[in-house]
A and B are shown apart, each in its own frame.
Chain A
Amino acid sequence: MTHVNTVLGTVPTEELGFVAVHEHIGYGMPGSELDTQWWKTPEQRYEETVPKLRRFHENCSPWGAATYVEATGICNGRDINYYQSLSEKTGVNIIASTGFVGGDTALPFFERASVDYLYRQFVHEITVGIGNTGGKAGIIKVGVSRGFMMKELDLRIYRAAARAAVETGVPIFTHLAVNAEPAVEIFNEEGLPLDRVLFGHADDGVSQGKVRQEWIADQGGRIGFDTFGYDLELPDPPFWGRHKKDRLDHLLSFIEAGYLGQVLASADANCSPLGWPGVKGHTVNYLFETLLPDLKDAGVDDAVVDRIFVENAADFLTIKN
């Protein structure tokens, strides 16, 4: 039996359907919960979130099911009970993360923790559950702190994640694909095949010139074109935005170069951001409303779309043990 952990329990890989592999219900930096400028009523949070997920579910219907991988790490406003209610009411599979978006999003308790403790934290959340929710993590988030260079705490988290991935069979995805050399070294040392790792945000605007995508992919790593929709053409783009055409061309050339089997794509959108204004109008549904038509216009056939959003995603997310 091949399966994944969703917040509502196991789901067979065959039932995942269309997968948005790097998304957020709501993300906020640790401490943002203390700043009332970002607070929203529960009504507002549901109002902002439910229609987007229902629309996503509808958009995914040709593929039979909708799966939303929630990339918010521990301390960043991750909220499993809330995801469970959203999943149950909208029909969208939600896969939650253990791990951290980066060392600079790990609060002091975890900053002080050893590799072994972090490993046990991750394994517990994957095999026993997150808090008292009963929901289990289906993937491990790791990442590079601000500044494009791995810090000591980032490395500790990567190593703990690698050990937890080897033990439990869940995959790892990264925030940023820059400074990948120490990451690859750790994964090799811990015996984790690189096809269990998605190097994310390879396509964002600020990382360009710093991502060795072929070097990663030639060793088996997967590459995430997962910030689709953060276009500089928007009225108020975020600092990691990029010209729409450049991002699309980047993806197309990477596929053209023979790496289709290692490509994953997503929008990294927030349904309802927790500690920042978010980017108005940007949702996971950009994938259907803009990206898929753009791919069609570029002559990409449906089989390639299925490969990226269904087959590659299912192979990556399946618990391997």
Chain B
Amino acid sequence: MTEKFSTATVNTVLGAINAAELGVVAVHETLRSVVPGAEYAYDITIDRAEVFEAIATELRAFKAAGGSTVVDASGMFHGRDVRMYEALSRSTGVHIVASTGQGPEAMLGGYFLTPQTNPPTPWPAEKWTAMFTGELVEGMVVPRVERRGVAGLVATVATREGMTSNDESIFRGAGRAALATGVAVSIRYGADALADLAVLTSEGLQADRVVVGGLDRSDATGVAAQVAAAGAYVALDHVGTESEGYLTDADRIALVAELIAAGHADRILLSASATCVSFGEPGNDVALDRVLTTFVPACKAAGVSDEDVQQILVANPAALLSVKGN
């Protein structure tokens, strides 16, 4: 493993780095969250300097808690600000991996759903492939201005009630773009995690190039082990969220222990789905360092070994984020 990491690289907003340099990774967070359209709302002001400071404060605390890399996993159309992420990374010393991707269907602009054609046929998979591949190869878009850096993974979400046909087009496009470029795909499952995963593997993507998020939802009982057995990464990605619809942290710890006991330590990932700033809807007000300051100590107290913790926080994300074939 160690030898493999010495050559594998990861795309960060400041360029490719050796996977061994990632350190402790939060694999599913959102630095800047903007509901599409909220930037035009009459009663929302997005003060750039304030936003920067709010995110930087979270990143510094994350670093102080032992964190080293944050994955901004909200895709290309929910507030991503590549220029700011570059400056944040330089300023705080935290590696930032940004994502391409869109979805679910309800978050898409009309350009993709009702194009100016007759009939207005929604975008098929191959157009999504081209859009995501462009962001992975040529650079991430700053709308109508420039491309910057390259994305480090593709992130998408299936509609909670069940994957729609438009979600499926995006999933297939994400899978093909990942296959072509060697990056991983991060998904939030809809109603059926294994079926959503199967859409990606049916495109030829290996399951170990996929992380399935949302597996700490309270309706996901038993699913995490099945996803791990299928070879994909299991993200318990709402650590610190205990509201209705999610497990408590105590239950998450039990699930981690269960997965380790079943031999899946090499499939587990942890994250908080924190939104450092959020516009247009309430953010997920969990600290970016929550996993490190609270959850991991509790896991250790519950008997999870240091070795397994290292596997989960360092080795697993490094393997996931390493670009294959380079």
Contacts and interface: CB of A to CB of B under 8 A. Distances in A.
Contact of B114 (A28, A104, A109, A275): A104
A30 B41 CA distance: 15
Given A31-B111, A275-B111, A106 B41 contact: no
A interface: dominant SS: loop
Interface stretch (B7-15, B102-110, B162-170): B102-110
Given A110-B37, A111-B106, 6 more contacts: A29-B115, A32-B109, A107-B40, A108-B35, A108-B36, A275-B111
B103 to A, nearest CB: 12
Contact of A29 (B43, B107, B116): B116
Interface stretch (A119-127, A226-234, A254-262): A119-127
Contacts of B35: 107-109, 112
A125 B43 CA distance: 11
A287 interface: no
B118 interface: yes
A185 interface: no
A314 to B, nearest CB: 28
A33 B115 CA distance: 13
A107 B109 contact: yes
A146 B114 contact: yes
A105 interface: yes
A104 B115 CA distance: 10
Contacts of A131: 40
A206 B112 CA distance: 22
26 contacts: A29-B110, A29-B111, A29-B115, A29-B116, A30-B110, A31-B112, A35-B111, A35-B131, A39-B144, A74-B37, A104-B113, A107-B37, A107-B109, A108-B106, A108-B107, A109-B36, A110-B40, A120-B43, A124-B43, A125-B42, A145-B114, A146-B119, A206-B118, A239-B117, A239-B118, A275-B116
B172 to A, nearest CB: 18
B41 A75 contact: no
A321 interface: no
Given A29-B109, A31-B77, A31-B108, A109 B118 contact: no
A182 to B, nearest CB: 20
B280 interface: yes
Contacts of B77: 31, 34
B90 interface: no
A188 to B, nearest CB: 27
A215 interface: no
- The 9 A-B pairs with the shortest beta carbon distances in the complex, nearest first, are A31-B109, A107-B37, A109-B37, A31-B111, A30-B109, A29-B111, A33-B143, A239-B118, A124-B42
A242 to B, nearest CB: 14
B111 A32 contact: yes
B141 interface: yes
Contact of A74 (B40, B113, B144): B40
A36 interface: yes
Contacts of A276: 116
B42 A36 contact: no
Contact of B37 (A35, A106, A128, A275): A106
Contact of B143 (A34, A105, A106): A34
A75 B37 contact: yes
Contacts of A39: 144
Given A107-B37, A108-B36, A36 B109 contact: no
Given A34-B141, A39-B144, A125-B42, A28 B36 contact: no
Contacts of B147: 36
A39 B134 CA distance: 14
Given A121-B42, A239-B117, A108 B37 contact: yes
Interface string A25-49: 0001111111110011000000000
